[in-house]
């Protein structure tokens, strides 16, 4: 695991948006950030899952979260702008955004990639990340130190047979992260990416249905890097893709 000792309350007074907060790694990150003192904004596709995470955070006695039901597949630039302006009005600033939601699409031989799958994966994993980042940056700039975190993958800097559009999309994600990191190098905003590594989630099970799930770390176990990048301890880290395990 990434070697970072988590300090209690290290995210106190921070407002943090997590996309894909209803399940898997995003859910673990949202709950972890809340436990460390942050007010979390839970964005995801399925309202019932977001409500369950909301309840879990309230039952832990943490700051009350906010819920934003949004499907990244159909959302427009205006949806993201409205969301960012609402965050600025309600919280005064945004200290961090974990862009975690993504879709796997279909694993298939390269010559059999469906155009529709390509379009969907690129829309959710690349275009939506660009639009959401464009909209959030002005609100992130209201914070003293702000952290924008993208989510890559092992196939985001080394292509792998049959991983098609998902792999292309993660290369693009790392490229986008580096462009933003370079543009905002001398500002309050740092931009990095996480490669979670094989983690016990629904997406992983879809990609590797036959593997022994118990041999994989849980989302909770890979949180040290997610906390490091969101906390002020990483204010001098910019433009990096770091491995959570």
- For residue 193, what are the contacts with CB-CB under 8 A and spacing of at least 6? 149, 150, 151, 152, 156, 173, 174, 177, 240, 241, 242
Site for ligand NDP in 108-147 (CB under 6 A): 124
How many whole angstroms separate alpha carbon 122 and alpha carbon 118?
6
Q: Which of 14, 18, 22, 35 binds ligand NDP (CB under 6 A)?
A: 22
CA distances from 103 to 25, 117, 155, 185 (A): 13, 10, 14, 29
Q: Which of 204, 222, 231, 238 binds ligand NDP (CB under 6 A)?
A: 204
Q: Which of 80, 166, 226, 228 is catalytic?
A: 166
CB 149 within 8 A of CB 231: no
Q: Which residues pair with 19 in a beta bridge?
A: 43
CB 68 within 8 A of CB 41: yes
| 25 interacts with ligand NDP by CB under 6 A | yes
Q: Which of 16, 18, 23, 146 binds ligand NDP (CB under 6 A)?
A: 23
Q: Which of 1, 60, 161, 202 binds ligand NDP (CB under 6 A)?
A: 202
Identify whether 166 is a catalytic site residue.
yes
| For ligand NDP, the closer CB: 190 or 204 | 204
* Cα–Cα nearest to 184, from 208, 148, 234: 148
Q: Which of 15, 32, 139, 151 binds ligand NDP (CB under 6 A)?
A: 151
| 243 interacts with ligand NDP by CB under 6 A | no
* Angle at 191 (CA atoms; ends 132, 19), nearest 5 degrees: 40
| 72 interacts with ligand NDP by CB under 6 A | yes
Site for ligand NDP in 171-200 (CB under 6 A): 196, 198-199
| 24 interacts with ligand NDP by CB under 6 A | yes
Shortest Cβ contact with ligand NDP: which residue? 24
User: Tokens 């949202």 identify what position?
Assistant: 30
Sheet containing strand 241-243, edge to edge, reads: 66-69, 39-44, 15-19, 96-99, 146-151, 189-195, 241-243
CB 53 within 8 A of CB 23: no
| 165 interacts with ligand NDP by CB under 6 A | no
| For ligand NDP, the closer CB: 173 or 238 | 173
Question: Looking at the annotation, which residues are catalytic?
Answer: 166
Q: Which residues are near ligand NDP by CB under 6 A?
A: 20, 22-26, 44-46, 49, 71-73, 100-103, 124, 151, 153, 196, 198-199, 201-204
């Amino acid at each position: 695991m990434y070697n970072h000792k988590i300090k209690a309350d290290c995210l106190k007074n921070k407002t943090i948006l997590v996309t894909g907060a209803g399940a898997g790694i995003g859910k673990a990150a949202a709950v972890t950030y809340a436990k460390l003192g942050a007010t979390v904004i839970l964005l995801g596709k399925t309202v019932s899952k977001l409500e369950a995470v909301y309840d879990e955070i309230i039952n832990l006695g943490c700051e009350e979260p906010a819920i934003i039901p949004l499907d990244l597949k159909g959302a427009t630039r205006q949806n993201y702008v409205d969301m960012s302006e609402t965050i600025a009005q309600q919280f005064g600033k945004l200290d961090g955004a974990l862009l975690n939601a993504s879709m796997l699409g279909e694993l298939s031989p390269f010559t059999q990639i469906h155009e529709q799958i390509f379009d969907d994966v690129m829309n959710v994993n690349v275009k939506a990340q660009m639009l959401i980042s464009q909209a959030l940056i002005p609100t992130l700039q209201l914070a003293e130190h702000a952290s924008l975190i993208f989510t890559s993958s092992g196939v985001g800097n080394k292509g792998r047979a049959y991983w098609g559009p998902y792999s292309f999309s993660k290369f693009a994600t790392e490229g986008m992260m580096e462009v933003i990191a370079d543009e905002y190098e001398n500002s309050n905003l740092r931009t990095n990416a996480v490669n979670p590594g094989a983690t016990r989630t629904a997406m992983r099970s879809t990609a590797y249905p036959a593997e022994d799930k118990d041999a994989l770390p849980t989302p909770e176990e890979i949180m040290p890097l997610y906390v490091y990048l969101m906390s002020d301890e990483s204010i001098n880290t910019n433009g990096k893709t770091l491995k959570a395990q």
